[in-house]
Amino acid sequence: MATFELADLGADFTSNPYPHYAKMREMGPVHEMRGADGWRFWLVVGHEECRAAFGDARLSKSSPAQDDEDRIMGRHLLIADPPHHTRLRRLVSREFTPRRVAALRPRVQEITDGLLDAMLPAGRGDLVDALSFPLPITVICELLGVPDSDRDSFRAWSNDVVAPTDPERSRTSVFAMRDYLDALIAKRRGAEPGDDLLSGLLRTEAEGDDRLSAEEVRAMAFILLVAGHETTVNLISNGVRALLENPDQLAALRADPGLLDGAIEEMLRYDGPVENATFRFTREPIAYDGAEIPAGEPVLIGLASADRDPERFAAPDTFDIRRSAEGGAAHLAFGHGIHFCLGAPLARLEAKIAIGTLLERAPDLALDTPSAAYDWLPGMLIRGTRHLPLRW
């Protein structure tokens, strides 16, 4: 185990962290990371160790010191442990079902077609603004019953939460989102119930007449809105960028659209939208490879590193859309175990429709900016660029 100063890793740690993770894996599966202010956390980088960490009961999703998000928004799935997590997931799963997701397919296709109708006549543009962002935010807002006129506000609030550049601004955005959701929930509880997921979450009951409280519904709506669109935005953009940077794979996919499902899985593995899972905290001292992490310490599970581990994947730095057909698709991009992403089926559906339709309708698609010009999202949570200029 080694100690790494984040400031010493350089700007390319944001634009291309994979060589850094490779060096870390060679030195051991877990390392201490230190920020400029001396704050430290621990990063798990090996695939086997990351997979095991997801099921390690010695790692808690609840912070020893209740954080702002918990106090302001309420306890949601990403910051809860069993049995509370078990109860929340059971209640939410009664409404957020595979059948509900599957029923969204025609609407996702309709939204995609409309966005491409507006985008393609220009001949060039920004994929993020034109397709990658508006598709998933429209879908999740419609699913939750958020009016179209409020979606730009959600985009700004969400960006401040998942890729913060200013702590105070991020905190202000969390408060703004909380107040908005409280007002929306009050409407659904009162005279304006609907067929949307939010109304369903308010109605749902399980064994013993258990029911989500208004605070729990608010926290669940918050995590669905943030995780339900920010991740898919970057799955679509990162996936398209990977195809365009690997023309042999793009040509193979165009020649055989039946490879699309496997291509989506490879996009998730190769350059997925979540670089590291959200923090866990050691309940007790934990030993990794002879090094001990003290109790009460924050730990990140390195999804991006795990999914490039040569101990698990042959030629891990190669983008290969046929990998899943060869049994190599066991990535951790959606997590593992009880915290496996609840929205994974929806993300896959949106990415498949968006990317498949884009390739079908834009046969001459190409990147329209050098990679050095990309504006990468800050931080170690979400991996992606703010824009992806393309031409067609």
Which ranges of 97-213 does DSSP label H, i.e. alpha helix?
A: 98-103, 105-119, 127, 134-144, 151-162, 167-189, 197-203
CA-based nearest residue to 303, from 1, 54, 40? 54
CA-based nearest residue to 323, from 262, 236, 243? 262
pLDDT tens, residue order, the chain (392 aa):
789 999 889 889 999 999 999 999 999 999 999 987 788 999 999 999 999 999 999 999 987 765 555 567 877 888 889 998 998 898 888 888 888 889 999 999 999 999 999 999 999 999 999 999 999 999 988 888 888 888 888 778 877 877 677 888 888 888 898 898 888 888 887 766 677 888 888 877 555 567 788 888 888 888 888 877 889 999 999 999 999 999 999 999 999 999 999 999 999 999 999 999 999 999 999 988 777 899 999 999 999 999 999 999 999 999 999 997 655 568 999 999 999 998 999 999 999 999 999 999 999 999 998 877 899 998 899 999 999 999 99
User: How far is residue 121 from each of residues 150, 210, 326, 367, measured CA to CA in Å?
Assistant: 27, 52, 39, 17
**pLDDT (0 to 100) of residue 167:** 80
Backbone φ/ψ region at 74: left (φ over 0), alpha (ψ -120 to 50), beta: left
The Cα 188–Cα 253 span in angstroms is: 44
Beta bridge partners of 376: 385
Q: Give the global pTM.
A: 0.91
Which amino acid is residue 159, in one-letter code?
N
β-strands 30-34, 291-293 pairing: unpaired
* DSSP class of 387: -
What is the count of structural domains for the chain?
1
CA angle 184, 140, 174 (to 5 degrees): 55
> Both tokens of residue 191?
């005279």
**pLDDT (0 to 100) of residue 247:** 97
**pLDDT (0 to 100) of residue 52:** 94
Question: Containing domain of residue 66, as a range?
Answer: 3-391
First to last CA, the chain: 47
**Please, are residues 111 and 141 in contact by the beta-carbon 8 Å criterion?**
no
The Cα 44–Cα 349 span in angstroms is: 30
**pLDDT (0 to 100) of residue 171:** 85
**Please, are residues 292 and 1 in contact by the beta-carbon 8 Å criterion?**
no
Backbone φ/ψ region at 372: left (φ over 0), alpha (ψ -120 to 50), beta: alpha
CATH of the domain at 63: 1.10.630.10
